[in-house]
């Protein structure tokens, strides 16, 4: 009976050793041939660098003008406090819809075509203040594409 127990213990230990060796070998192979396998490795530093500041709301607005031109704006809206940031975040779809509707106005079309950022900023702030309970004084353009 003692030999059966020793045999089972040996099989358990050797089975665990084989599994551990396969895990180590698999990890080494995936690391060594990661370019050929196209396995993305986690990079936490990149994820930590992309975190948005807590004192602003960022959004993209995509639109077409007369069905011919494409407009994409990346906006950063500074907020006074957490309540305003949450309120703006919840109401971003409403803001985007109103801005897209405003883009059909001749003044906005001309401003987008000529890249007149002051006129665009004025209209964006006007729309944001019509939605927001607290006044918004500035908007930053982080990206602008008109083509």
Domains of the chain: 2-43 (no CATH), 52-146 (3.30.479)
Q: What is the pLDDT of residue 133?
A: 83
143 vs 11, 18, 74, 84, 136, CA distance in Å?
63, 54, 5, 23, 20
Q: What is the pLDDT of residue 147?
A: 83
**pLDDT-based confidence at 6, cuts 50/70/90?**
low
Count CA atoms closer than 13 A to 53's CA, side-chain side.
Answer: 8
Given a cut of 90, is residue 26 above it in pLDDT?
Answer: no
Q: What is the mean pLDDT of the segment spanning 75-92? A: 90
Distance, in Å, from the CA atom of 128 to the CA atom of 137, rounded to the nearest integer, reads 10
pLDDT digits (tens, 9 = 90+) for 48-75: 445 556 788 899 988 888 888 888 999 9
pTM, 2 dp: 0.62
Q: What is the pLDDT of residue 10?
A: 67
């Amino acid at each position: 009976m003692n030999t059966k127990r020793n045999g089972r213990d040996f099989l358990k230990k050797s089975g665990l050793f084989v599994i551990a060796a396969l895990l180590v070998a698999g990890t080494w192979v995936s690391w060594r041939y990661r370019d050929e396998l196209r396995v993305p490795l986690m990079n936490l530093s990149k994820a930590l660098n992309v975190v948005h500041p807590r004192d602003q709301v960022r959004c993209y607005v995509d639109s077409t003008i007369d069905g011919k031109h494409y407009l994409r704006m990346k906006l950063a809206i500074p907020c006074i406090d957490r309540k305003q940031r949450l309120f703006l975040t919840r109401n971003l779809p409403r803001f985007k819809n109103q801005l897209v509707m405003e883009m059909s106005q001749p003044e906005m079309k001309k401003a987008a075509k000529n890249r007149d950022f002051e006129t665009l900023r004025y209209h964006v702030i006007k729309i944001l203040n019509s939605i927001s309970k607290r006044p918004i004084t500035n908007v930053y353009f982080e990206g602008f594409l008109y083509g």
